[in-house]
Amino acid sequence: MASGTACFPALRSLASALGLGFFSHFEGIAVNTLLPIFASLELLVNLYNWHKNKNHTRAVFSILGPVAVLLTLYPLWLYD
């Protein structure tokens, strides 16, 4: 819920109506720290699964998400 309000403005208004505005302090931690950690973990697990099963189509589709997240957060994100 803390980082979801950055993407969905309707959640922001709902969260403020419910008194959850204090979560905005943790938004930077969720996006800048936790998201890359979980995306890297998912990427490593999917690469291990590819190495174990040798299914190339499944491997490509399973690593697209984490790679997109990591590319968005690091080399393609101009503003910190």
* Rounded distance between C-alpha atoms, residue 49 and residue 57, angstroms: 12
Residue 64 has what pLDDT? Answer: 92
Tokens of 37: 């950690």
**CB contact set of 39 (below 8 Å; sequence gap of 6+):** 65, 66, 69, 70, 73
Residue 13 has what pLDDT? Answer: 75
Residue 41 has what pLDDT? Answer: 94
* Per-residue pLDDT tens digits of the chain, which is 80 residues long: 455 556 667 777 777 777 776 767 777 777 778 888 999 999 999 999 888 888 888 888 988 999 998 888 877 666 65
